[in-house]
Each structure stands twice: as C-alpha cells, then as structure tokens.
Amino acid sequence: MSILANKETRAVIIGGIAGLNAAKRMAQFDFLINRPLTVQAFVYPPEEGQHKEIYRGGELNNVTVYSTLAQALAENPQINTVLIYIGAARAYQSAKEALESKEIKLVSMITEGVPEKDAKRLRKLALEKNKIFNGPSSIGIMSAGECRLGVIGGEYKNLKLCNLYRPGSFGVITKSGGLSNEAMWLCAQNGNGITSAVAIGGDSYPGTDFVTYLEMFENDPETKAVVIVGEVGGTLEEEAAEWFGKEIRRIKLIAAIGGTCQEVLPQGMKFGHAGAKEGKKGLGSARSKMNALREAGALVPDTFGGLSKAIKQVYQELLATGVIQPEPELDDKLLPALPPSVQEVMKQGDVIVEPLIRTTISDDRGEEPRYVGYAASELCEKGYGIEDVVGLLWNKKLPTKEESEIIKRIIMISADHGPAVSGAFGSIIAACAGIDLPQAVSAGMTMIGPRFGGAVTNAGKYFKYGVKEYPNDIPGFLNWMKQNVGPVPGIGHRVKSLKNPDKRVKYLVEYVKNQTTLHTPCLDYALEVEKITTSKKDNLILNVDGTIGCILVDLDFPEYSLNGFFVLARTIGMIGHWIDQNNQNSRLIRLYDYLINYAVKEERPVPEKK
Amino acid sequence: MAKILEGPAMKLFNKWGIPVPNYVVIMDPNRLEQLGEANKWLRESKLVVKAHEAIGGRFKLGLVKLGLNLDEALESAKEMIGREIGTAVIRQLIVAEMLDHDEEYYLSIAGNRDGAELLLSTKGGVDIEDNWDTVKRLFIPLDETPSIEEITEFALGAGFVGEIAERVAKIASRLILCFENEDSQSIEINPLVIRKSDMRFAALDAVMNVDWDARFRHPDWDFKPVSEIGRPYTEAEQQIMDIDARIKGSVKLVEVPGGDIALLTAGGGASVFYSDAVVARGGSIANYAEYSGDPPDWAVEALTETICRLPKIRHIIVGGAIANFTDVKATFSGIINGFRESKSKGYLENVKIWVRRGGPNENQGLAAIKKLQEEGFDIHVYDRSMPMTDIVDLALNS
C-alpha cells in the first residue's frame, strides 16, 4: 500500500525539456516494477502535435504533446494526476487549470521560484476542491513498487539500492528533495524500505504540510513508521508535533530537523531553502521544533547523523513486537537490468555492431579535422595548399611540389568558360529566377555530362586503356574504339581546330612536358592519337577534357575521380556567375519568341473526351 | 525573500499613497549641497542622515545622525560616505526631513499561509518590543480586502480615537493595497508619526520585504534586493550571486568570518544539516555554500575556487545527500578543477578535504576526485555507505 501515488496513477506532464527528462526517469521505474507507463501525455503548446519517445526498458513508446490540458484529458480520460514542470511565470495558471479539472486528484509542482502569493492561492484552491496540491519546488512522490512521480529516487541503480521495487514499512516526508532520496536510502539500509516518500518542497508556503501526509500514512496500514525531515522556519513541524501528540497514533514518528546552527551564527545570518527563515523571538527555530516533536513522543536525533540509528531502533522494535515480519532481501540479479544503449555496450566490448559506412580519408572526432591522418591546421602551417588537400582527399596521397603545381593549373584554367556554356548558363537562369546559391549552382552542375565537361573521366579511362592494350598500335586502338565505344572521348572540338588551336591545351601540354619532370605516357599516347585523327579531319584535335584526363592519369589519380576536377573547378565559376547576377539585381529572364521555332500544330478545337 | 532599502520602499509608499517625509538619496556630499539650494525643506527642516546600506545596528555604529541642519547634515555626510564597516563600505545616504511629531504609532503587515496579518499599536517607536502586548492584529484572508469601515473599527479597537482613527485606517488600507499589489512579504512602519497641529502623518522608518520571485510581473521594480544577513554582501558573495543568476540550477555562498571549516555542500536541505553537524561538534564554519539543481561544472568550479580562498581554513567538507538528478561526475569535475587551480595558486596548504556524496554517476565522480590523492591532495573520499554528516566527525577528530 501507499499514499498519493499507486498502480492506478496515470499522469500528464505540463512543461518542456525538464518534464521530458522526468518522464524518461519515470519510465525506468515503470520498467523496474513492470507497470504500464505512468506518463500518458504532455502539455506544452510550443510542441503541440509532436510525439516524445519514451523507453520503458527496451519498449519504445510515443507520448503525445497537447497544447492544452483540456485536450490532453479529453483524449486520455484515464489521467488522474498532473505534474507541473513549466516555468514559474506560467506555473500558477497551469496548476489552477489542473486543480479545476474534474478528473485530476493530485497536482505536484517541481517548478522553483514560484511567487508566494501564487502558491498560497493554489493551496487554498486545492483545499476548496478537496484535492492535493504538492509543491512548489517538490522533487516528487515515490511509492515503492507502485509509482514514481518526478525524478525522486535518482538514477536506476539507486532505485534498486533503495529497495524501491517493493514496499517496506516506512513513510517519508521531507521539505528537501535531496534529503527525500537520502531518507529513502536510510530506510532501506536500516529498515525494510519505504511505502511512500513525499517531498513537500522548501518554499515558505507549500501547498501541503507534514500533517496532510501524516494523516494519510496513519490511514495506510502498510506504513508502520514515518520519517520526517524538517528544518528551521515556518510552523509545519510544530503542527506535526501537535498532531502526533493529540491522540494515540498507530504510526511511530522519527524526525530530523535542520538549522540548529543558526543559534550560534551571527544574528540575522540565515540560509538554506526559502522557507528556512526563523520568525521573531525564536518562533520556528530548529530547537523549538525538536522540542515540540520530542514532547509529542517522536524520536528526534540531535543531528542528521543520528537518523540511521533512530530508524534502525524503530525497525528492531517493530520486528520484536511482531508488527512486521523480516522480509528476505531480493537477489539483485532477479531485478531487470536497464537495457543499455548501443554506445554503452560497445564501450564495454560486449557487442559487435556492423558499421553502416566506412571511411578511409577523413576523421573529425578529435579537436580538428584530420585528412588521411594529417591535422588540417598543421597542413596550413607547413605551407600546403588546396591542391594538396585535393590530393589527400581524392587520392590519399600528398602530391609533390611539381604535381601540386600541375593540379593547381588544371583547376585554374578550368574554373570558368564564360556565361554561354551549359553550366554557367544554367546557373545564371536560376540566379535570375531568384534561386539561392546552392540550388542555382546545382542547376549548372546538372549540365555536366557526356556533352559538357563530363568527358574527362572517359578520356582518361580510354587513353589509359590504349596505352595498356595497344601501346604501339594507334590504328588498332582507334578501330577498337570505333567498334566498342564510338567517337574517342577527349578528341574533337566544336570551334577549335589544328589551325585554330585551343590555347589552354597548348599551355598545359607545354608546361607539363617542358617545365616538369612528370613521366607522361598517357598524354604522349593521346598526342599520337591526335596526329592520326587530325589527318582525317581538321577539328579532331585533343581537346581540353582529353588533355586534363591524360595528365591526371599520369599523375596517378583514380580514373573515376577525373570528372571531379572539372566539377571542382567549374563550381568556382558558377558561384561567380550567381554572385555576379545577384550583384546586378538581375531580373527573371525568358527566351524571346524569335529564338524559338514553334514547330507545333496550328490552333484547333479540342475534341469531346471519349 | 528580498529585503529592499528604505529609498525604494519610500518610492513604493509614494506610489500607493502612504505618507512619507521628504527625503533624498545621495552618493556624493556635494549633491546634498546642490539639492539644498533647490529644496526649501532641506534648508528649513531638521534633518536625519542615515547610511543607506544593508547594515544592522546602524544607530550604534554612528550611522544615523538626528536633528541636524543642512550644514551639519553635510558634515555628517562627508564623514559617513566612504566609511568602512567590516567588509562593507558606505556608499549611499538617505537624508530625510525629521518631522517634529506628537505621537509614534506602529503599523505593519506580514504575509502568512492563509493571507496576511495587519498589526497596529498606538505605542510605536523604539520600545515596541516592550509594548508588544498593545499590538492588535487583524487577519486578512487571501485575496480579500477589508472595507475602510472594518479597518476603522479595528483602529478604534486598537485604541485610536476620532479623526486619528479614521486617518490611521486610511493609511492602513493603503498599506494593504501596497502589500497586495507589490507582492510584498512584509512591511513594517515604525514609527508612523503624527504632527497634530496640521494632522500630518508620515512613515518615518520602514522595513519592506518583497517576493523577489514575483519580479517578472513588476517591470517597475528598479531596485535590487539587499543582503539579509545583517551586512552587505562581500565581493566573493556578489560574484557567486552573479553566476547564480545566469545558470540553470544554483550556486550560493555566505561567508562567516572567523571559522575554520569550509563547506562545499550540495542541496538546500543537506547543506544546512552539514552546518548543524559542524556546530554540534563544536566546530566553527567559515562559510555556508550550496550548489543544487545540476548546475554546470564551471559554476561549481568558480564556487570551489572561492571557497579555497577563504582565509585560515583547515578543512573543506564536500558533502551532499544522494542526489536525484544532479550529476555527481559532472559537478565533481568542476570541484576537481577548482581544487587543482587553487593548489597551483598556493591555496589549500595544510587543508584536509572530506568528501561524501551519492547520485547519478556517483562511481565515476567519486573515483575521479579520489585520484587527487595521487596529486598530493590531503583528500578523504567516501560513498553513500558513509552516513551523510559523519565526514564532519571524521574531520573534527582528525
């Protein structure tokens, strides 16, 4: 048995992230004792309609977020309890609405910093409605083996250590949240654990008091003794003493009271909870509370340290008088272990997870990205350039100085080719249509293919094939190409010809051959091929794609990486065009009719649909 | 709970129509001279000069001077401003008209669980404690406002007569309004004085507490609460308060000069029991400190460093209950860093550290702090199986 919270308790949490965290902790307890999920709904207007993922052990639940309490209750009539986690400025309204809802019997508020007047009004409202308003500043309510409301009890391990999976014989009422947990632990260590534990909160005017719960415990046959932890300030402990002393009570009472230190501290020096303030003339002092409780027959140790002994003493008495029977301790192994997350198990090496992806080039799990092992900042420091990063990320090799210079030149001469070509034109149309940079550049990028810029890979690939399979037999190579591929990629140009050579090709070939020591079998082979193709037709020259492809093969880049150089280089140009159009505030464009041959049928009537 | 100084209290009294004497708040004596030129009352009335600081027992300390003319007031102001009282410096003065009066009354209101209580006596003034049995009480239920007739009846019952009873009732009704509308916790006017020649009333001295948690609905509160510990906050306390205002969770510090046992304790409830344990064993605390609500590690680190700098400490008690949700590993990493930093600056010489804690990630947290032993710290670490406050016994017996 228990008070306040039991197996029938179903709760809605009003509030955001703190409430969600509490719900997760509560679900751990639900798992431990194998009860249905306690939290059935959330109310938090900013996240209306969302679903929060709550694990009860390994079982994943989706709990709905509503914008109003009325909605949550309408759709979840089983809810009888409200937990308030929302900020102090909105806590009053939320709690008021909750107390005014017919279905709700208990409202517990963890929100701290709630104005006193609000708390007083809520207490009054709860009394009028014959309901319980617990808090503000309450860590929650725990009924061992039955229900957990709030994060009271702490982490999963502690729930087991405090025997919270099954009821004991001690009730706990504290002002402090931390001490509720400590008291539960003491009851488990020195006795047989708790029935229920309630934190009423340390504010000046909590919604409930010790007497509220002492009466409940008195009426709960399973509770044989109650531990209260009070402190200086207010009169709740004196009232508890008065209640306890008024008539013979079934329950035994143990109390620890904090704040005796204030007797010797400089006058006026006060601290602790908001409510821990001594009144005029010693009213509400720790000493007066202790005396009152002792006179009423409670066991009151001088310090908190004496609480263990007091609980043990009461437990022994209860055993000796046969009020309770000793309960064998449950083997910890019989209790379910919380399913660990994959990360936790992996850390312990108890599970093998097949990776979803594998990378061999880059790792940013440390303080900064490392490219094939080299820290980015160190590459910068040591004078490496963007070409070297390309070499590392595309080919996992640091290029030599000479190689870097070649890569740099390839990118430079390919960066742009004016606004008329497919790629730049695509980006410009997009820019004029008001499309943002990434999408506009992608529009240009989609043009890259077999007819525009996409020949580098295939050029490199087939010339490499020729070098290997037809080393001294250009006609044989051309014949093979004709039969198996078609026109040779990298050969031929729409405008340029032998008489009107492409300046870029000329420059690149001369640079590589005359100013570097690069061994260029593929480029040499392509130039031999060009000699034969141009003898057939003037414009079947080695074009820039072919040249670049061959040089990159000679630089030992993987063949499927070769188009990347064109993509990389041309991205610079496309971004440039996008910026340029935006700078000019260009308007939306469309083709003029005279640029279109409308080869369509004449206007005619639409036939009736058959 | 937030005590506010007389100046802001007077301003709120003015707002709600409670009569106050003429007054000015100054930070510079020269300002008083300028104000004297502009204000007739400063030149023609007898004046009272008071230190406008949260210092208890101002009269005994010579921080209240009565019956002065403007020149004398100026003289007192020059004397008082900049005076050091313990750790505090007098920065502000309140200069008020000292009203010649015939009688002194007592009027106060204080909140309680079910509403508030209005207290009234015809025998106000410094002897109110001795005349406490003359004080009459009127209970005001929550959200109810007594009518002026009821209050007048009450004033008559308290021994006021005729027009005075009516006027006192009117002032009391305004006090109730002020109390209700300003989220007050208590307002004590002592004395409320009357000059019968012109039936002028004035609240000569007032102590007001407002509910600082309600500040979100009082955009016109342009003041800050002052220390309630009988002296202004020290620089270290102020720094910790500034951090506290910025973080999730909280960190708190009160210095207690002269003690040699420093507290670095967790939780509003447990921290008080640790103070009790020290006192009960005949020790003396050097401070009160508390962190709670899972504060960030850097805030705990700052609190730790501040505590390590307390003079003449011999022990530091790193105590706490078994936390519900404050992460022991994370908060302890702040404490560990704070200890290391302090040691490197030459603090913690011959200081013994005693640790007891439980809660989320307790094993990792306790193991980490125990490792400080290897770095030469005199640190003793215990887990939840050590009764909470028993580390205080161990410290004092060592």
Domain ranges, ordered by start, for chain B = 22-97, 103-213, 235-397
For B288, nearest residue in chain A (alpha carbons): A271
Q: Choose among A260, A265, A277: nearest Cβ to B1.
A: A277
**Lowest mean pLDDT: which of A255-269, A489-503, A522-536, B96-110?**
A255-269
Question: What's the one-letter identity of residue A103?
Answer: E
**Lowest mean pLDDT: which of A42-51, A583-592, A601-610, B60-69?**
B60-69
The helix or strand, by DSSP H or E, that contains position A425, with its residue range, turns out to be helix A422-432
Task: Give the distance from CA B90 to its chain's centroid.
Answer: 17
Query: CB–CB of B142 and A120 under 8 A?
Result: yes
Residues 6+ apart with CB under 8 A from A418: A424
DSSP assignment string, A39-70: EEEEE-GGGTT-EEEEEETTEEEEEEEESSHH
Q: How many residues does chain B have?
A: 398
User: pLDDT, tens digit, for every residue of A387-402?
Assistant: 999 999 999 999 999 9
3-class SS at B192? strand
ipTM metric: 0.91
Asked if residues A175 and A231 have their Cβ atoms less than 8 Å apart, the reply is: yes
Q: Tell me the C-alpha distance between B25 and B7, whole Å.
A: 7
**Given this model, what pLDDT does residue A354 score?**
86
Residue A153, min C-alpha distance to chain B (Å) = 6
What's the angle, vertex CA A208, arms to CA A202 and CA A209, rounded to 5? 75
> Does the N-terminal peptide bond of residue B191 adopt cis geometry, omega within 30 degrees of 0?
yes
Q: Tell me the C-alpha distance between A469 and A275, whole Å.
A: 92
Structure tokens at A115: 């104005």
A320: number of CA atoms within 13 Å, CB side? Answer: 6
Pick from B274, B348, B259: nearest CA to B305: B348
Per-residue pLDDT band at A279 (split at 50, 70, 90): low
Q: Tell me the C-alpha distance between B14 and A22, whole Å.
A: 46
Running DSSP on this structure, what letter comes out for residue A299? B
Mutation site, A96, A118, A182, A257, interface B, largest B CB count within 10 A: A182
Question: A158: which chain B residues are within 8 Å (Cβ-Cβ)?
Answer: 322, 358-359
**Lowest mean pLDDT: which of A342-346, A353-357, A415-419, B85-89?**
B85-89
**Given this model, what pLDDT does residue A345 score?**
83
Mutation site, A109, A155, A273, interface B, largest B CB count within 10 A: A155
Structure tokens at B63: 């921080």
User: pLDDT, tens digit, for every residue of A284-335?
Assistant: 889 999 999 999 999 999 989 999 999 999 999 999 999 988 877 777 777 8
The helix or strand, by DSSP H or E, that contains position A1, with its residue range, turns out to be none
C-alpha distances out from residue A212 to A10, A208, A237, A267, A484, Å: 22, 6, 12, 33, 93
**Given this model, what pLDDT does residue A274 score?**
66
Structure tokens at A401: 């100085």
3-class SS at A558? coil
Structure tokens at A258: 């904090």
> Does the N-terminal peptide bond of residue A301 adopt cis geometry, omega within 30 degrees of 0?
no
Q: Choose among B115, B213, B324: nearest Cβ to A115.
A: B213
Asked if residues A23 and A52 have their Cβ atoms less than 8 Å apart, the reply is: yes
**Given this model, what pLDDT does residue B1 score?**
61
For the structural domain made of B235-397, what CATH number should be given? 3.40.50.261
Q: Which strands sit side by side in the sheet containing B287-292, from one edge to the other?
A: B250-255, B287-292, B265-266
Structure tokens at B68: 């002065």
**Given this model, what pLDDT does residue A182 score?**
96
Helices (H), A435-543: 437-445, 455-469, 474-484, 503-515, 521-536
Q: At what angle do helices A544-554 and A455-469 cross, to 10 degrees?
A: 60
3-class SS at B61? coil
Q: Which string of b and e fits B173-194 if b means at least 16 CB within 10 Å?
A: bbbbebbbebbbbbbbbbbbbb
For B165-172, the CB contacts below 8 A with 24+ separation are: B167/B194, B167/B199, B167/B201, B168/B105, B168/B107, B168/B120, B168/B192, B168/B201, B171/B18, B171/B19, B171/B107, B171/B201, B172/B107, B172/B118, B172/B120
- Residue A422, judged by CB atoms within 10 A of its CB (0-12, 13-18, 19+), counts as middle
Query: CB–CB of A177 and B185 under 8 A?
Result: no
Per-residue pLDDT band at A270 (split at 50, 70, 90): low
- Which CATH fold would you assign to the domain B103-213? D-amino Acid Aminotransferase; Chain A, domain 1 (3.30.470)
Asked if residues A257 and A284 have their Cβ atoms less than 8 Å apart, the reply is: no
Per-residue pLDDT band at A276 (split at 50, 70, 90): low
Residues 6+ apart with CB under 8 A from A271: B229, B252, B254, B271, B272, B288, B290
- The dihedral built from the CA positions of residue B76, B77, B82 and B83, taken in this order, carries a sign that is positive
The residue written with tokens 């989609």 in the block is: A446
Asked if residues B134 and B121 have their Cβ atoms less than 8 Å apart, the reply is: yes
To the query of whether residue A273 is one of the catalytic residues in this protein, the response is: yes
Q: Choose among A88, A181, A259: nearest Cβ to B272.
A: A259
Asked if residues B355 and B320 have their Cβ atoms less than 8 Å apart, the reply is: no
Q: Tell me the C-alpha distance between A399 and A384, whole Å.
A: 10
Q: Tell me the C-alpha distance between A148 and A153, whole Å.
A: 8
Residues 6+ apart with CB under 8 A from B20: B10, B13, B14, B202, B203
Structure tokens at B40: 């007739």
Per-residue pLDDT band at A139 (split at 50, 70, 90): very high
Domain B22-97: state its class. alpha beta
- Residue A347, judged by CB atoms within 10 A of its CB (0-12, 13-18, 19+), counts as exposed
Which residues of chain B carry a pLDDT beneath 70? Answer: 1
Residue A154, min C-alpha distance to chain B (Å) = 4
Residue A441, min C-alpha distance to chain B (Å) = 44
Residue A171, min C-alpha distance to chain B (Å) = 18
For A207, nearest residue in chain B (alpha carbons): B113
Q: Is the pLDDT of residue A281 over 60?
A: no
Q: Is the pLDDT of residue A273 over 80?
A: no
Structure tokens at B248: 């999730």
Question: A276: which chain B residues are within 8 Å (Cβ-Cβ)?
Answer: 268, 272
Q: Which string of b and e fits B84-115 if b means at least 16 CB within 10 Å?
A: ebeebebebbbbbbbbebebbbbbbbbbbbeb
A10 or A366, which is more confident = A10
Instruction: Write down the catalytic residue from A51, A273, A417, A519.
Output: A273
- Residue A158, judged by CB atoms within 10 A of its CB (0-12, 13-18, 19+), counts as buried
The residue written with tokens 């710290």 in the block is: B377
The residue written with tokens 């009004």 in the block is: A121
Pick from B319, B331, B231: nearest CA to B278: B319
Domains in chain A, CATH or no CATH each? 11-334 (3.40.50.261), 399-610 (no CATH)
- The dihedral built from the CA positions of residue A305, A308, A311 and A316, taken in this order, carries a sign that is negative
Mutation site, B227, B322, B327, interface A, largest A CB count within 10 A: B322
For β-strands B2-4 and B23-26, DSSP reports them as unpaired
Pick from A502, A594, A483: nearest CA to A541: A502
Q: Which strands sit side by side in the sheet containing A51-56, from one edge to the other?
A: A51-56, A59-66, A39-43, A11-14, A81-84, A106-109, A132-134
Instruction: Look up the pTM and report it.
Output: 0.81
Asked if residues A253 and A244 have their Cβ atoms less than 8 Å apart, the reply is: yes
Tell me the sheet residues that pair with B210: B2, B184
- Residue B35, judged by CB atoms within 10 A of its CB (0-12, 13-18, 19+), counts as middle
Q: Choose among B211, B324, B361: nearest Cβ to A181.
A: B324
Residue A274, min C-alpha distance to chain B (Å) = 7
Tell me the sheet residues that pair with A225: A170, A252
For a pLDDT cut of 70, what percent of chain A falls above it?
A: 97
For a pLDDT cut of 90, what percent of chain A falls above it?
A: 84
Question: What's the one-letter identity of residue B208?
Answer: M
Structure tokens at A545: 């794609």
Query: CB–CB of B268 and A263 under 8 A?
Result: no
Pick from A398, A373, A401: nearest CA to A388: A398
Q: Tell me the C-alpha distance between B346 and B365, whole Å.
A: 25
Running DSSP on this structure, what letter comes out for residue B133? G
